Amino acid sequence: MHENTPPRAAHPEVAALLDELAASGRPSSRTLPLPDGRRNFAELIEPLTESPEVGAVEDRAIEVGAHEVPVRIYRPAGLAGPAAPGPAGAAAPAREGTVVFLHGGGWVFGDLRSHDGMCRSLTRLSGLTTMAVDYRRAPEHPFPAAVDDAVGVIRWLAGHGGEIGMAARPLAVAGDSSGGNLAAAAALVLRDAGDSPLAFLGLLYPATDPAMTTASYEENADDPFLSRDEMVWYWSQYGGGKAPDDPRAALTEVTDLSGLPPTYLLAAGLDPLRDEGLAFAEALRRSGVPVRCSEYRDMPHGFLLFAGRLSRAREGLAEAADAIAAGLAGPA
C-alpha cells in the first residue's frame, strides 16, 4: 500500500504526457457536440494506452428489460487459444471467473472503444474473462439508467453466462472513475435485493461524493486531467441538471455498507477524487467489509488509461488485476 502522507509530487512521466496531450491540440470533449465529444474522448486515449493480445474478443448484446445493452467479452489465453506476447508482458494462466467492467468518462463519455486497452490488460494480467458494459449514458439517459443497465447485465450473466461459455461464478464487478461509482452502486442494489452473485468489487479511483468538499478537491481543483469544474458538470449531467442525492449515486449517503463483497480500491494521489475514495474504503472497513486500499501518490486521475506512456499505470493495472484474481480465488 502506498502511504497516504504528504508530499505528493507528480511522476516525471506525467509532465511528458501532459506535453504530448497539449501538442495533440485536441479540444476538451465537453466543448464539442455530444457525438463529437465522445469520439474525441476515445481518440485521445487510444494512442496512449496499451492494447495487448488476449485469447479472443467478442461483441454481443444483452437484453435488459425492454432494451439491449452492448457488451464486449474478452477471454484470456487458455480459454480461447494462446495469446501472443504483448507489451503488457506474459499472460496470466486462465482462471475460472468473470469480471463485469464499467468504464469511466463522467457518465457522459467513454465506451467500449475508449476502455478497450484497459480491459485487454486486465484480462491478460488476471487470467479472468472480462465483460465490458456499454451502459446508457447521460445526459440522454440520466441516473439511474446506467445503474439499471449494470445490475441487469450482472443478473443476466449470473443466470445465463453458461449459455455463452462464461463462468457465472465466481463473479466480480469493477470500474474506473464514474464506472467505479456504478460498480459500487450495482453492488449495493444487488445486496439490498438479497440476490447478489458478486464475490468481489474493484474500484479504481471511484467517484463517490457529489458534495466535492474534500481537501483533495482543494489541492487539485485545477488539475488538467480532471478539474473540479469538470466534476461539477459531470455530476449535473448524470443527475439530469443537478447532482443526484440518491445513495445509489451519492455513495457517501449510504450509512451501512455491510454485506458488500470484499473490495480492492485504488486511489491516485493527485486526483480530486482521492480523499472521497480513501474515505469510502474506510467506511467499508468500518462496516466489516474486507478492503485492500492502494494509493499511487504521484499519479493523476485516469492514469490507468495511459499505460502506453506511464510505467506506474502498468504497475497499477497489474496490481488491480492481481487483487481481483486473488479476490475471486477466495481464501488460500
Confidence label for 92 from pLDDT (cuts 50, 70 and 90): confident
Does 301 qualify as catalytic in the annotation?
Answer: yes
- Out of 176, 271, 275, 298, the active site residue is 271
Does 271 qualify as catalytic in the annotation?
Answer: yes
The percent of residues above 70 in pLDDT, for the chain, comes to 94
Express each pLDDT in 155-195 by its tens digit.
Answer: 999 999 999 988 778 999 999 999 999 999 999 999 999 99
Q: Is residue 80's pLDDT more than 80?
A: no
Confidence label for 90 from pLDDT (cuts 50, 70 and 90): low
Confidence label for 78 from pLDDT (cuts 50, 70 and 90): confident
pLDDT of amino acid 308: 97
pLDDT of amino acid 87: 52
pLDDT of amino acid 138: 98
Give me the mean pLDDT over the 12-16 stretch: 95
pLDDT of amino acid 4: 42
Largest CA distance in the chain: 51
pLDDT of amino acid 7: 54
pLDDT of amino acid 79: 62
Q: Is residue 227's pLDDT more than 90?
A: yes
Q: Which residue has the cell 505528493?
A: 8
- Out of 114, 177, 178, 196, the active site residue is 177
Q: Is residue 1's pLDDT more than 60?
A: no
pLDDT of amino acid 88: 53
The percent of residues above 90 in pLDDT, for the chain, comes to 87
Does 111 qualify as catalytic in the annotation?
Answer: no
- Residues in the chain, overall count: 332
Quick count: other Cβ atoms within 10 Å of Cβ 2? Answer: 15
Q: Is residue 6's pLDDT more than 50?
A: no
Look at residues 317, 331, 330, 332 and name the one whose alpha carbon lies nearest to residue 130.
317
pLDDT of amino acid 169: 86
Instruction: Give pTM, 2 decimals.
Output: 0.94
pLDDT of amino acid 279: 98
Q: Is residue 3's pLDDT more than 70?
A: no
Q: Is residue 5's pLDDT more than 50?
A: no
Query: Distance between CA atoms of 66 and 61, rounded to whole angstroms?
Result: 13
Query: What domains are there in the chain, each with its CATH number?
Result: 12-329 (3.40.50.1820)
Express each pLDDT in 230-258 by its tens digit.
Answer: 999 999 999 999 999 999 999 999 999 99
Express each pLDDT in 186-218 by its tens digit.
Answer: 999 999 999 999 999 999 999 999 999 999 999
Residue type, 75: R
Give me the mean pLDDT over the 274-279 stretch: 98
Which residues partner with 129 through β-bridges? 98
pLDDT of amino acid 168: 79
- Out of 11, 103, 115, 301, the active site residue is 301
Query: Distance between CA atoms of 50 and 46, rounded to whole angstroms?
Result: 8
